[in-house]
Amino acid sequence: MNQHLEAIHRTAELFEKYSHAVRVLQYDLETICPKEGMEEQGETIAFFGNEAYKLMKTEEFMAEVEAAYQEMDESWDSFDRALVRELYQSQLKNSKITPEMNLEFSRITQKAFTAWSRAKEAADFSLFAEPLAKVTDMERTIASLRSEVPQLKQETPYDYRLDDYEEGMTVADLDRIFGECKERLIPLLQKIQASPKKIRTDFMSREVTEEQQKKLAYKVLHFMNYDLNRGAMTTSEHPFTSEMARNDVRITTHYYNDAFASSLYSVIHEGGHGLFELNAPQENWEHHLNNKTMGQHESVSRFYENIIGRSEAFTNVLYDMVAECMPQVVEGVSKKEFYEALNTVTPSLIRTESDEFTYTFHVIIRYEIEKEIMNNGLDVAEIPALWEKKYKEYLGVTPSNDREGCLQDMHWTDGYGYFPTYALGNMYNAMYYNRMKEEVDIEAAIQSGSLAAVNAWMQEHVWKKADRQTPKEWIMEITGRELTPKDFLDYIEAKYTKIYEL
C-alpha cells in the first residue's frame, strides 16, 4: 500500500473511534438524555467532536492527504481514491477553520439544540431566537471563510452550505428545479382542491396504543428485511436514523395514539435510510469511507416511504398488517379506502406528517427562508412572520403557534442547507424508479411477502457506489441522465390525476 495511504488509514481508524463515540452520545442526547443533563452532554459531544477534528488538522496528516491526492491515479482501489478525494475536499473546506473555531461552532450547535428542545416544548420561538442567531452568524462566517479558498469559490454564501449536504448543488440549480415544481404543482393542487372526489379519512385518527404501533412497526421492518441484529428501533421527539458502526444502524420513531400512520411512515422512511447504510459495501468500512450525500440518502428513504410505501400494492400489504395489529383501525374500511386515505392531499402545517404531494411545498418554503437568511441578511427574528406568510401563500394554512410552525424541525440547530435534499431525493428516486420498473416487477415483489427483490436492485444500482461517486456521476450511471424534476412531476401528476379522477 502507498505509504501516504497507510498513514491516512491509521488516522482514519482513530477518527472513526471518536466519531463512533460522538454518534452514540448524540443519539443518546436525542433519545434518552434528561432535560437538565443535555447541556453538559452537549459540551462533552462538542469536546470529542473537536478532538476528532484535531486529528484531521495536524500538519502531518494534512501533508499526507495532500501527497496522496497528488500521487493517486487509476491504479488505486476505487474506495481509496474516494477516501482521499473526500479528505482532500474536506481539508480545503476546513482550511481556514482552526480547532478552536470548530469547538466554538460545536458548542453553538449543541446549545441551539438544547434551546430548540425547550422552545419547541414551550411553543415559543423567542426562546430559540438568540441561539439561532448565533448559528446564523456561524453559518455566515463559514461561508465567508470558504470563500477565501480559491478552489471552493461559489456564487452566493448559501451555496457553500448547499454543497456540504449535496455536492455540486447551487442556488441557481435549486431556483430552477423548484421553479419547475411550482409551475406544475400549484395548478395541479388547485385542480385537486376543486375535484368533487371525496376521500374518506375518519379512520386515520382512530385510537391506537403504543404497543399496537410497536408491533406493527416491527412487522414492517421485517417485511423490509431490516436486520435487527444489526440495528434497533427506539423513540425520539423527531424520528431519525443513526449509523453508529458497521453492524449498528438504528432508527427512531415517535408514537401518537391518534395518528397510527405517523409512526408507521416514519418507520418506513427511517428504515429506508437504515437499509442504505446496512447494505453498503463492507469495503466502505474497511476503507473508512462514509460519503453518501443527504440527497442520495433522502432519495432512498423517500423511495421506501412514498414510491413503494404509498403504492397500492404496498398499502394492501399494510392493510393486512394493520388488521392484525390494530384491527379497530380498519374495521369497516376497504383496501381501496385505506390506499386513498394514505394518499389524500391535504395542505397542512407539519412537514413530517404531510402527504407526498404537498411535501414539496414544505421544502420549498424552508429553502426560500434559508436563502433569505443566508443571501439576503434576513434577521432570524423575522422567521415566524415569513413562515406564516409563505404557508398562507403556498398551502393556505396558518400555524396557531410556533411548535406547529417554525419550531417543528430540529434541522436549523445545525445550520442551513439540509432541507432541499429532501426534495432532491424525490427527484432522484423518481428517476431510478423508472429504471427499476424496466427490470423488476415491483408489484409481484411486494406481493411475494418481502422487499428482497426491490432491495437487491437497490443494492446493485443505487447503494453500491454511492459513497464513491459524486451525486452527478451516480445518477448518471444509474439512469444515463442528468438530474431533472421531470420524472418526479410526471409521477406525481399521473398518481394524483388517477386518485382524484381529474
Q: Tell me, yes or no, if 270 is annotated catalytic.
A: yes
Residues 22-41 vs its own copies: string with x where CB under 8 A? --xx-xx---xxxxxx-xxx
Return the range that interacts with its own copies (CB under 8 A); candidates 160-168, 225-233, 381-389, 444-452.
225-233
Q: By rule CB under 8 A, what count of residues binds its own copies?
A: 35
What is the smallest separation between the CB atom of 39 and its own copies, expressed in angstroms? 8
Type of residue numbered 297? H
Cβ nearer to its own copies, comparing 29 with 427: 29
Cβ nearer to its own copies, comparing 32 with 385: 32
211 is a site residue for its own copies (CB under 8 A): yes
Candidates 30, 86, 270, 277; catalytic one: 270
What is the smallest separation between the CB atom of 254 and its own copies, expressed in angstroms? 16
Type of residue numbered 463? W
Cell numbers of 237, please? 421527539
Cell numbers of 425, please? 431525493
Cell numbers of 403, please? 411548535
For 324, list phi and psi in degrees, rounded to 5. Answer: -80, -40
The DSSP string of 106-144 is HHHHHHHHHHHHHHHHHT-THHHHHHHHHHHHHHHHHHH
Q: Are strands 248-253 and 241-245 parallel, antiparallel or unpaired?
A: antiparallel
Return the range that interacts with its own copies (CB under 8 A); candidates 18-26, 105-113, 121-129, 447-455.
18-26
What is the smallest separation between the CB atom of 215 and its own copies, expressed in angstroms? 12
Rounded to whole angstroms, the Cα distance separating 355 from 262 reads 11
Cβ nearer to its own copies, comparing 51 with 414: 51
C-beta separation of 42 from 107 below 8 A: yes
Return the range that interacts with its own copies (CB under 8 A); candidates 4-12, 101-109, 229-237, 315-323.
229-237
* Residue that has been written with the C-alpha cell 444502524 in this structure: 249
Rounded to whole angstroms, the Cα distance separating 285 from 224 reads 23
234 is a site residue for its own copies (CB under 8 A): yes
Return the range that interacts with its own copies (CB under 8 A); candidates 208-216, 373-381, 446-454, 485-493.
208-216
Residue 235: its H or E element: strand 231-235
Q: Which of 210, 258, 324, 439 binds its own copies (CB under 8 A)?
A: 210
Question: How many Å is the Cα radius of gyration of the chain?
Answer: 23
Count of positions (residues) in the chain: 502
Catalytic residues: 270
List residues near its own copies by CB under 8 A: 17, 20-21, 24-25, 27-28, 32-37, 39-41, 44, 47-48, 209-211, 227-232, 234, 244-248, 250
